C-alpha cells in the first residue's frame, strides 16, 4: 500500500465524517451512517416510557380511518340485542350495529442537527455521532410528550400536534364536554366516545386508594377488555405512592407483584396489570367539581391529579408509509437563501405519525386525585 493511500485510510478512521455513506477519502462514513440510523431505536427504548409499548402500524394515506361501532344498549357494550330463545319456526328481529367513521390525521415532526465542516476536518468526526444522538433523543422525547399531553396547553405537548391522551381521555356523560374526537363531536348520545371514569372524590380531590385501581380494572373488564394488553399509566411520583400503598398492604413482597415486558425489564404490577410511570404525567391533571362545561380544557389542570388504565390493544401509533424516525443526511445547508451554502454536515430525523385511540370505552380515567 502506498503511503498516500495509507494516510487516506488513517484519516478516514480518525474523522469518520462521511454521513452520506459514500466511500472515498472519508471511508468509514458508511459505518457512521449505520450507527446514526440505529440511534432512534436506542433513544426510544432508553428515554421514553410509553412509546416502546405502543404498536406501530403503517398507513398508505394521510389519515388512519376506521369505523367505530355505535353504542346501542345504554352503555352496556352490547351492540346486538337480538338474542332470544325461540320456538321452532318462530321469527326474530335482527338488530344490526350502526357505526360512525373516525379519522386521525397524521402530522409531520422532525429534529435537525449539524456539525461545522471545520470541526469535522479537525478530526472531530465523533461530534457528528454525538449531535445525531442528541437529535434522536429529542425526537423520542418530543413524541412521548405529545402522546401524553397532546394539544392541551397545561401539559408538555404542542398546540399544532396530534391529539394525545390528555385530549382523548374525556367523557361527555359526566363532564358534558362536546369537543371533537377524530372528527366526530362528542354528545350525550355518543356513548362510544366516552372513556370509563373512576372519581377519587365525587366533586372534590381525594387520595388515591387501592379501591380506585380495583374499580378501574372492574370497569375495563366489564367493557370486554379483560384479556387485552393493559397498563396503569401515571407520573413517577404517583408510582412511588402506589408502591407505598402496596407495601402497606404487604403486597410488595416478591416478583409476584411485578411483570416482565419484552426486552427483559420488570415493572411494578397490581392484579397482574403493569404500572408504568412517566415524567410527563405530572401535568396530566383532570378536576371535576360538579359543574359541567362544553370545553374539555376547563377540566384539565397542569398538576398531577389523574392517572389512566390504558387498553393498549386499542391505542397505537400510525405512520404514513412507515416513516418513523427516518434519518435524512444532509451536507451543506441554506442560510438566508438557497444560493448561500453553509459549511456543515448533519441531517434530521423525521416521522409522519399520529396517536390512534381506536376504542374509548375500554380506557379508564381516574381523576380528582390529590397530588402525591
| 292 or 119, greater pLDDT | 292
Cell of 1: 500500500
Strands 230-235 and 307-311: antiparallel
Q: What is d(CA 124, CA 118) in angstroms, rounded to the nearest whole number?
A: 9
pLDDT of residue 61: 96
Give 234's strand partners: 277
pLDDT band at 330 (very low <50, low <70, confident <90, very high): confident
Q: Which of 19-28, 199-208, 276-285 has the lowest mean pLDDT?
A: 19-28
What is residue 125's predicted lDDT score, i.e. its pLDDT?
Answer: 58
- pLDDT at 334 exceeding the cut of 80: no
Q: Which three cell numbers stand for residue 68?
A: 367505530
Alpha-carbon distance of 221 to 210, in angstroms, equals 17
**How high is the pLDDT of residue 249?**
65
**Residue 164, CA distances (Å) to 121, 129, 168, 214, 317 in order:** 43, 31, 6, 25, 11
DSSP assignment string, 60-92: SSSEEEEEEEPP-STTSS----------TT---
Per the model's pLDDT, the better-predicted residue between 118 and 288 turns out to be 288
**CA 162/CA 8 separation, integer angstroms:** 48
How far apart, in Å, are the Cα atoms of 194 and each of 180, 186, 299?
11, 8, 15
pLDDT for residue 6:
44
| Burial grade of 116 (CB within 10 A; 0-12, 13-18, 19 or more) | middle
Segment 170-187 mean pLDDT: 92
Q: What is the pLDDT of residue 23?
A: 30
- Rounded CA-CA distance 63/242 in Å is 38
- Name beta bridge partners: 277: 234
With a cut of 50, say whether residue 15 has pLDDT above it.
no
Of 123-137, 153-167, 172-186, 242-256, the one with minimum mean pLDDT is 242-256
Give pLDDT tens digits for 187-226: 877 778 999 999 999 999 999 999 999 999 999 999 989 9
Per-position DSSP letters for 218-268, written without gaps between them: HHHIIIIITTS-EEEEEEHHHHHHHHHHHHHTT--SSGGGEEE-TTS-EEE
pTM: 0.86
Mean pLDDT is lowest, of 138-142, 229-233, 246-250, for: 246-250
Q: How many CA atoms lie within 13 A of 12 on its CB side?
A: 20
- Packing angle of the helix pair 126-149, 29-47 (nearest 10 deg): 30
Whole-angstrom Cα Rg for the chain: 25
The pLDDT of residue 20 is 41
* Cell, residue 214: 380495583
Query: Which tens digit of pLDDT belongs to each residue from 41-71?
Result: 999 999 999 999 999 999 999 999 999 987 6
Tell me what the pLDDT averaged over the chain comes to. Answer: 85
- pLDDT surpasses 60 at 19: no
Judged by average pLDDT, the poorest of 170-179, 186-195, 197-206, 287-296 is 186-195
Residue range 248-270, pLDDT digits in tens: 665 544 444 666 665 555 789 99
pLDDT of residue 292: 93
Amino acid at each position: 500500500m502506498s503511503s498516500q493511500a495509507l494516510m487516506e485510510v488513517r484519516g478516514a478512521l480518525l474523522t469518520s465524517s462521511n454521513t452520506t455513506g459514500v466511500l472515498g477519502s472519508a471511508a468509514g462514513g458508511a459505518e457512521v451512517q449505520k450507527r446514526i440510523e440505529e440511534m432512534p431505536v436506542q433513544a426510544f427504548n432508553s428515554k421514553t416510557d410509553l412509546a416502546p409499548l405502543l404498536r406501530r402500524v403503517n398507513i398508505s394515506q394521510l389519515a388512519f380511518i376506521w369505523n367505530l361501532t355505535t353504542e346501542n344498549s345504554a352503555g352496556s357494550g352490547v351492540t346486538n340485542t337480538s338474542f332470544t330463545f325461540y320456538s321452532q319456526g318462530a321469527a326474530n328481529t335482527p338488530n344490526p350495529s350502526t357505526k360512525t367513521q373516525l379519522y386521525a390525521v397524521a402530522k409531520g415532526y422532525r429534529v435537525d442537527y449539524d456539525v461545522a465542516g471545520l470541526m469535522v476536518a479537525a478530526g472531530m468526526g465523533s461530534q457528528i455521532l454525538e449531535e445525531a444522538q442528541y437529535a434522536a433523543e429529542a425526537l423520542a422525547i418530543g413524541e412521548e410528550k405529545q402522546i401524553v399531553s397532546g394539544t392541551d396547553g397545561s401539559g408538555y405537548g404542542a398546540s399544532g400536534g396530534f391529539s394525545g391522551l390528555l385530549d382523548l381521555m374525556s367523557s361527555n356523560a359526566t363532564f358534558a364536554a362536546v369537543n371533537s374526537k377524530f372528527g366526530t363531536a362528542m354528545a350525550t348520545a355518543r356513548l362510544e366516545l366516552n372513556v370509563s371514569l373512576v372519581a377519587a372524590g365525587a366533586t372534590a380531590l381525594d387520595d388515591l386508594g387501592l379501591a380506585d385501581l380495583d374499580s378501574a380494572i372492574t370497569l375495563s373488564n366489564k367493557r370486554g377488555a379483560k384479556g387485552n394488553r393493559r397498563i396503569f399509566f401515571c407520573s413517577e411520583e404517583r408510582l412511588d405512592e402506589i408502591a407505598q400503598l402496596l407495601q402497606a398492604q404487604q403486597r410488595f413482597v416478591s416478583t409476584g407483584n411485578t411483570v416482565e415486558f419484552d426486552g427483559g425489564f420488570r415493572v411494578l404490577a397490581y392484579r397482574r396489570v403493569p404500572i408504568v410511570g412517566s415524567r410527563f404525567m405530572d401535568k396530566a391533571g383532570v378536576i371535576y367539581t360538579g359543574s359541567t362545561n362544553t370545553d374539555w380544557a376547563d377540566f384539565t389542570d397542569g398538576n398531577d391529579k389523574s392517572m389512566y388504565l390504558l387498553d393498549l390493544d386499542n391505542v397505537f401509533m400510525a405512520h404514513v408509509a412507515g416513516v418513523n424516525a427516518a434519518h435524512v443526511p444532509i451536507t451543506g445547508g441554506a442560510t438566508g437563501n438557497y444560493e448561500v451554502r453553509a459549511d456543515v454536515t448533519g441531517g434530521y430525523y423525521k416521522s409522519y405519525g399520529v396517536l390512534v385511540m381506536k376504542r374509548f370505552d375500554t380506557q379508564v380515567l381516574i381523576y380528582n386525585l390529590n397530588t402525591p
